């Protein structure tokens, strides 16, 4: 039987958090320091901003068939 890794992951997370007294600023600073010391290139992506919700929910009329139903949604 393969052991469930969840308990080990939680134990490691707790151990790492305890090293910095569960202070998020200290945890973040340690992560940044470890990234800088690793010598690897860290990719930074631009933040993803949600688009205009109105545009997402706006109906154009083209998504309805002749009977007024959405042809993509199938009802059974």
Length of the chain: 76
Under the banding of pLDDT at 50, 70 and 90, the label for residue 73 is: low
Q: What is the pLDDT of the chain when averaged over all its residues? A: 78
Supply the Cα-derived Rg of the chain in whole angstroms. Answer: 24
The pLDDT tens digits for 19-72 are 999 999 999 999 999 999 999 988 888 888 776 655 555 555 455 556 656 556
**Where do the structural domains in the chain lie, given as residue ranges?**
7-42
């Amino acid at each position: 039987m393969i052991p469930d890794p969840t308990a080990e992951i939680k134990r490691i997370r707790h151990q790492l958090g305890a090293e910095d007294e569960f202070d998020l600023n200290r945890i973040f600073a340690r992560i940044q320091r470890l990234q800088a010391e690793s010598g690897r290139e860290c990719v930074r992506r631009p933040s993803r901003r949600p688009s205009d919700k109105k545009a997402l929910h706006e109906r154009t009329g083209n998504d309805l068939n002749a009977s007024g139903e959405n042809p993509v949604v199938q009802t059974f």
